[in-house]
Structure 1
Amino acid sequence: MDASIRSAHVDTFARDHLPPVEEWPAILVDLPELCYPQRLNCAVELLDVTIGRFGGDRPCLLDQAGTVWSYEQVAELVNRTAEELVHGYGLRPGNRVLLRGPNSPWLAICWLAVMRAGGIAVTTMALLRAVELREVIAKAEVRFALCDERFTEELELASGDDLTVIRYDVHDGGELGRQAKARTGVFPAVRTAADDVALIAFTSGTSGVPKATVHFHRDVLAIADTFSARVLRPEPTDLFAGSPPLGFTYGLGGLLIFPLRAGAASLLLEEAAPDKLFRAVARHRVSVLFTSPTAYRRVLDSLDDYELASLRLCVSAGEPLPPATWQAFERATGLRLVDGIGSTEMLHVFISAAGEDVRPGATGRVVPGFRARVVDESGAEVPDGVPGLLQVKGPTGCRYLTDPRQRAQVRDGWTLTGDVFIKDADGYFWFQARSDDMIVSSGYNIAAPEVENSLLRHPAVAECAVVGAPDPGRGEIVKAYVVLAAGCQPGEELVAALQSFVKSDIAPYKYPRAIEFTAGLPRGSTGKILRSVLRESCRSRSR
């Protein structure tokens, strides 16, 4: 932070536990809209400034019952809630506030109120258990928790005497709503610095112990002013909806930050399984949809059951998008899925493409405002067409809270993503694998997602995950866990058929030498397949 700009945070814990400045990522300001003022509160920008541009009587937040909160109503509730947190509970700028609950307008209101009051939001998945919550609370030294009253049990098991738990209800605000209603509704926002900490987001932990990533108020706006504004190009008349929780930065951006920055509305669904999500699209006339490749794939066989005429933009992220899913969805709907790669460390998407810029099978090109390159293990850039490790820099970047892994994640100002990509001569990036999803078998490097994509082209395969299994002769072999399509029966005959199919579809040495049929794949709270669980299962069996 510029020494001449004092932080508004009285509680300096978050800044005190950032990595040393020399380990920070390089921050780029390549677009004029990224030149933010030194004093900046993202809640003011998302509500007050948006109301000034578009008016306050337009829809802002909707719940799954169809109840609509206007921008003016949301702003008033945010002001009253912030006032109650500060004057009723003693929240001080810089205090960490855990948010717990499924997606709802009241969860969004709580998040915005914490921003307005100068607090630091630590938004968690609603289904985390006490042992997971305890780790989050301890790591971030959380002082307050705003919790959906239906989800307090695990939180109470995790909390100690130093945590103040405040309950809300998704319909009328509950305890917090009643207390806030008695407030004046006049609450000048805390004049945070642009690089005061706004949120601490925990990674999903699929590669080990979750890491706490730290992002500033300007970062919140930067993801809207790059990926959203330059690639998605939302309109004030849009209605956003989707499945990712607000505790997942994919959901926070796509379902709250992006629509509010554009003056659009957001439908926040508590229940967003694929069938319910696509029925909500028809019922509420959703125009912009955010969900996962898995959700798009699961509705492919039933798309005729949904009225999707209102959709103009469908975004896919959170895990690799199989080309077969992209192609099948376009054939059925005429909509070209917007693929993208982002990360908790970068806060949101930094490589993507939309509309006519989409090249099927490619993740996309670098989002304006960011830069990306493909390097070898030494950090040297590799030629186009050669696989390597993806590095990125931009207006956001990786800062871990008190974590020695910072030094491995950020090198020479670039953030490593943990992904293997190929960049082509036209600047498109092609995903190969997570760096830990590369299987080395008899000296061959095999990208697990490539084998998965091949299997998914077989009509008997509904879902699959591919990992490397230890093998004394080959080092590793390709093993596939397969969920069968309805009506298909497992057996040796089908194993042989799937193996033959892959051999005929891609290089024969990549075929799965072991196939295990399963009723389902292990998934984390964000919906990502936990390949680490499958890899550990393979290792334990080989011992």
Structure 2
Amino acid sequence: MYPGKYAAETPDKVAATLVETGESVTYAQLEERSVRLAHVLHEAGLRPGDVVALLSENNLRAFEVYWAAIRSGLYITAVNHNLSADEVAYIVEDSGARALVASHGKAEVAGAVAAKAPGLAVRLAYDGPVEGFASYEDSLAAASPEPFADQPHGAPMLYSSGTTGRPKGVRPPLPPVQVSELGDALVGLVGKVFGVGADTVYLTPAPLYHAAPLRWCGAVHAHGGSVVMMRKFDAEGSLKAIEDHRVTHAQFVPTMFVRMLQLPDLVRQSFDVSSLRLAVHAAAPCPVEVKQKMIEWWGPILAEYYAGTEGNGMTMIDSEVWAAKPGTVGRAVLGTVRICGDDGAELPAGQIGNVYFEREQTPFVYHNDPEKTRESQHPQHDNWTTLGDIGYLDEDGFLFLTDRKSFTIISGGVNIYPQEIENALALHPSVHDVAVIGVPDPEMGESVRAFVHPAEGATPGPELEQEIIAFVKSRIASFKAPRAVEFVGSLPRTETGKLVKRELKERYAKV
């Protein structure tokens, strides 16, 4: 299941389009270019298990690099292109990358990284020159277009977003199959569970250095569908892309839903989104009210999943089942969910604990970090692994997430989960964005503080602060309401919308 199959059957079919430029790549082009790059990498001495690093904004060439690695038994490490040169160099060195492919748009960082990474056997730059790098286009033109007879299946080796610390490399075992065979469980799941096939037109508005965008685009190509990629998310631009490209499947994070819902009604209603068959969302729990409003707008086509870069398991829920159990992230479709106390004992339905996925074998390790790998594993079962989230199972086996364990606020000995407070405020008309953390309190140990980016037209100050606190108290238990509200101009989020609460805590600590 790879582009070569569709290059033979439908060579002129568009494999991917970049929304902002209209540029596209066909399956025939994707196949030939990835084959040529595979030869370049092989001739430079890369062999199965080696790593290719990619430093690029969302660009169609990224798919060529991805498939060259996947068809060569290599790991592909897409690096966050917003990082500093030192941060990128850390990932390139930590991963042991033997090749670095960069875009001209990242020339300054790429050049600095190459100077810090002497172990690179290959340095290629596309769309323009980068100092110290060979031309991607010239290198491919000189390489063979004939596929290797042996094409072992590679895998992504991605680094976590680092929302709670330094990025961690997630290294899965390489599948012992050829690229033409099923080597990634996600590929099977997107076909069987999410209905992805050759007629799929999939919109991805998120950056490819994150696991879901990269792996889902690869899975769409494995099924012969077409990817519609945006350079970056834009609420109105996403609706226009759905209409213009007759998108059938799209993937978002809850923050993107909130931004689309904040558009004026006339703007939202001016776009035809009737082609959408499935709107997938993940990466963070979605506030119930936000999801209900999206279903009212788009119909019961939302599907939610819970999973992570680690690929250790997945739950899934469709709109119809969710309506009967609002707030759940579904039942397991990959692995078995186990809820355990801090001592490792499994907890009964309804009790909050650490969320583990059980698999037949340990599905990943954190590269060069055996301690973090061990911390992710259950005390008694190596093949039970956690992403650090807490939640509970109901009596029917549906998972409800409470928050990340590291974000829990302990105030007066009582656990308070920031996500619940953030959900309550997500659609408050005066709130554009919100984050909740615990801050030191001499009496209670910690107290709840909300950081609010006011909506346009809202006036920050004591009056709005009291209104927000009262609003929370009207929706959830009063003891969970923030003691104080701090108004800010922006909140630290990744490009996929995840709050980087570590930065917020560090910022508060300096005040």
TM-score (norm 1): 0.84
In structure 2, the CA distance between the partners of 1:57 and 1:357, relative to structure 1 (3 Å rule), is farther
In structure 2, the CA distance between the partners of 1:526 and 1:300, relative to structure 1 (3 Å rule), is closer
Q: Does 1:203 align with 2:160?
A: yes
Among 207, 212, 216, the alignment partner of 1:245 is 207
Among 229, 239, 264, the alignment partner of 1:278 is 239
Q: Is the 8 A contact 2:75 2:156 kept in 1?
A: yes
User: In the alignment, which residue of structure 2 is the partner of 1:316?
Assistant: 281
Q: Distance in 2 between matches of 1:286 and 1:316?
A: 15
Q: Is the 8 A contact 1:398 1:415 kept in 2?
A: no
In structure 2, the CA distance between the partners of 1:304 and 1:499, relative to structure 1 (3 Å rule), is same
SS at match of 1:159: helix
Q: Is the 8 A contact 2:12 2:26 kept in 1?
A: yes
Q: Does 1:229 align with 2:191?
A: yes
TM-score (norm 2): 0.89
The more displaced of 455-464 and 409-418 is: 455-464
Give the Å deviation of 1:103: 1.9
Q: Does 1:61 align with 2:23?
A: no
Matches within 5 A, 1:145-184: 145-160=100-115, 161-163=118-120, 164-169=122-127, 175-184=135-144
Q: Distance in 2 between matches of 1:224 and 1:476?
A: 44
Q: Distance in 1 between matches of 2:235 and 2:432?
A: 14
User: In the alignment, which residue of structure 1 is the partner of 2:52?
Assistant: 97
In structure 2, the CA distance between the partners of 1:230 and 1:353, relative to structure 1 (3 Å rule), is farther
Gaps of 5+ in 1: 1-44
User: In the alignment, which residue of structure 2 is the partner of 1:408?
Assistant: 375
Q: Deviations over 1:416-458 (max 9, x none)?
A: 1211112111211111111012111112211101111112242
Q: In the alignment, residue 124 of structure 2 is paired with which amino acid?
A: I
Q: Does 1:389 align with 2:354?
A: yes
User: In the alignment, which residue of structure 2 is the partner of 1:291?
Assistant: 252
User: In the alignment, which residue of structure 2 is the partner of 1:185?
Assistant: 145
User: In the alignment, which residue of structure 2 is the partner of 1:507?
Assistant: 477
Q: Does 1:378 align with 2:378?
A: no
Among 269, 272, 279, the alignment partner of 1:304 is 269
Q: In the alignment, residue 32 of structure 2 is paired with which amino acid?
A: E
Q: Does 1:215 align with 2:172?
A: yes
Q: Deviations over 1:393-417 (max 9, x none)?
A: 3377231112121111112120112
**Aligned pairs, number:** 486
Give the Å deviation of 1:253: 1.9
Where relative contact order (Cα < 8 A, 6+ residues apart) is larger, the structure is 1
Aligned-residue sequence identity (percent) comes to 27
Give the Å deviation of 1:182: 3.4
Q: Does 1:268 align with 2:229?
A: yes
The more displaced of 60-69 and 492-501 is: 60-69
User: In the alignment, which residue of structure 1 is the partner of 2:34?
Assistant: 78
Q: Deviations over 1:201-250 (max 9, x none)?
A: 11111111211110244395211213x13321213211011222221111
Q: Distance in 2 between matches of 1:496 and 1:220?
A: 54
SS at match of 2:57: coil
Q: Is the 8 A contact 1:470 1:539 kept in 2?
A: no
In structure 2, the CA distance between the partners of 1:137 and 1:457, relative to structure 1 (3 Å rule), is closer
SS at match of 2:386: strand
Q: Distance in 2 between matches of 1:399 and 1:82?
A: 26
Q: In the alignment, residue 392 of structure 1 is paired with which amino acid?
A: F
The more displaced of 471-480 and 401-410 is: 401-410
**What's the Cα RMSD here?**
2.2
Gaps of 5+ in 2: 129-133, 176-181
SS at match of 2:166: coil
User: In the alignment, which residue of structure 2 is the partner of 1:8?
Assistant: none
Among 79, 82, 86, the alignment partner of 1:124 is 79
Q: Deviations over 1:25-78 (max 9, x none)?
A: xxxxxxxxxxxxxxxxxxxx32234557x6444332222233443322211121
Q: Is the 8 A contact 1:116 1:189 kept in 2?
A: no
SS at match of 1:86: helix
SS at match of 1:353: strand
